[in-house]
C-alpha cells in the first residue's frame, strides 16, 4: 500500500488568517494520524505565511507516524530540519516569492550542491527526497546525488487528467520505472486529489508515498476530514 502523508499547510493558513490558535494545528495533526494517515507533511517558507518555524518544533512530539518537512534548503531551513530531525526532508527549489511549488530540481546543474546538502542530512539520520519532474536525464542525475528518494511533481498529470487525457501519466510511469532501477524510492505530490489518485497509483510502480494537502483539505470542507483521509487510504490500497 502506498503511504498517505497529509500536508497541513492549509490548516496553518486558516489559523493565521484570524490570529490565535483556531484551528489548532497540533490537534489537527494528531487527529489526522488517528484517522489512519501514515504521515504529516509541512512546508515552512521564510515568510511563515502558513507553517511557522515554531510549528515544526511543536509538531515533533505530536507526529508519531512519519514526519516530512519540505522546503528550499537555505541555511534557515537547514538549521530547522537538523534541529527537528524529521523522518524525511524533501528538497523543493521554490523561491521566496512563489505562491506554491511550481518546478522540480535541475539535478544536473545543481548536482554538486545537492550532493553536499544531502550528505549533511543523511549524516544526521534523516531520509532525503528530491522534488523532481519526469525528465529521465534528471532522474539519472538525481541518483548520483546520494538521495534516498525522489518526489515526482504531478501538476502536469493532474491538469491533463482533468481534461480527460489519461496518457499524461505515461512519463510518470517511465520515470518511476527508471528511478526504481536506479535504487531510488518514489514519492509523488502536487494537485493529486480524490478524482485522480486511484488512477495515478495504479499506473506508478513502486509508489511509496504521496503527499496531499490543498485538495484533501478542500474536499474535507464538504465530506469531513476523517472521511476524506479514509477515502484516500482506500484508493491507495
State the DSSP string of 11-56. Answer: HHHHHHHHSTTSS-HHHHHHHHHHTT-SEEEE---TT-SSS-HHHH
Q: Which of 50, 66, 133, 190 is catalytic?
A: 190
Q: Which three cell numbers stand for residue 61?
A: 512530539
Cα 103 to Cα 133: distance, rounded to the nearest angstrom: 7
- 15-54 in b/e form (b: 16+ CB < 10 A) is beeeeeeeeebbebbbebbebebbbbbbbbbeeeebbbbe
Pair 226, 1: CB distance under 8 Å:
no
**Known catalytic residue at 190:** yes
Q: What is the pTM of this model?
A: 0.94
All 3 cell numbers of residue 82?
537538523
Local confidence pLDDT in tens for the 237 residues of the chain: 899 999 999 999 999 999 999 999 999 999 999 999 999 999 999 889 999 999 999 999 999 999 999 999 999 999 999 999 999 999 999 765 544 555 789 999 999 999 999 999 999 999 999 999 999 999 999 999 999 999 999 999 999 999 999 999 999 999 999 999 999 999 999 999 999 999 999 999 999 999 999 999 999 999 999 999 999 999 999
C-alpha cell at 58: 511543536
Whether 50 sits among the annotated catalytic residues: the reply is: no
C-alpha separations of 48 from 105, 170, 191 in Å: 22, 36, 22
Q: Collapsing DSSP states into helix, strand and coil, what is residue 189?
A: strand
Judge whether 204 and 173 are in contact, CB under 8 Å: yes
> Pick the catalytic residue: 70, 133, 151, 219?
70
Residues 6+ apart with CB under 8 A from 61: none
Phi and psi, residue 90, nearest 5°: -110, 120
Torsion angles phi and psi, residue 163, rounded to 5: -90, 0
- Tell me which CATH homologous superfamily contains domain 3-235: Aldolase class I (3.20.20.70)
Residue 110 annotated as catalytic? no
- E strands in the chain: 3-7, 39-42, 66-71, 88-91, 127-132, 149-153, 185-189, 207-212
C-alpha cell at 116: 553536499
Amino acid at each position: 500500500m502506498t503511504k498517505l502523508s497529509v500536508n497541513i499547510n492549509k490548516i496553518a493558513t486558516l489559523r493565521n488568517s484570524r490570529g490565535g490558535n483556531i484551528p489548532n494545528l497540533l490537534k489537527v495533526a494528531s487527529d489526522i494520524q488517528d484517522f489512519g494517515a501514515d504521515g504529516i507533511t509541512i512546508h515552512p517558507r521564510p515568510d511563515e505565511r502558513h507553517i511557522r518555524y515554531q510549528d515544526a518544533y511543536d509538531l515533533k512530539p505530536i507526529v508519531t507516524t512519519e514526519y516530512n518537512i519540505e522546503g528550499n534548503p537555505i541555511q534557515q531551513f537547514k538549521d530547522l530540519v537538523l534541529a527537528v530531525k524529521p523522518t524525511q526532508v524533501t528538497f523543493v527549489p521554490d523561491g521566496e516569492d512563489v505562491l506554491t511549488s511550481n518546478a522540480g530540481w535541475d539535478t544536473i546543474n545543481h548536482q554538486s550542491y545537492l550532493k553536499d546538502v544531502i550528505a549533511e542530512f543523511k549524516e544526521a539520520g534523516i531520509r532525503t527526497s528530491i522534488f523532481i519532474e519526469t525528465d529521465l536525464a534528471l532522474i539519472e542525475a538525481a541518483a548520483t546525488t546520494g538521495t534516498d528518494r525522489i518526489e515526482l511533481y504531478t501538476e502536469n498529470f493532474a491538469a491533463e487528467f482533468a481534461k480527460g487525457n489519461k496518457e499524461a501519466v505515461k512519463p510518470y510511469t517511465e520515470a518511476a520505472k527508471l528511478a526504481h532501477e536506479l535504487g531510488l524510492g518514489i514519492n509523488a505530490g502536487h494537485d493529486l486529489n480524490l478524482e485522480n489518485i486511484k488512477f495515478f497509483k495504479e499506473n506508478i510502480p513502486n509508489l511509496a508515498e504521496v503527499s496531499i494537502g490543498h485538495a484533501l483539505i478542500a474536499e474535507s470542507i464538504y465530506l469531513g476530514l476523517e472521511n476524506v483521509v479514509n477515502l484516500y487510504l482506500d484508493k491507495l490500497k
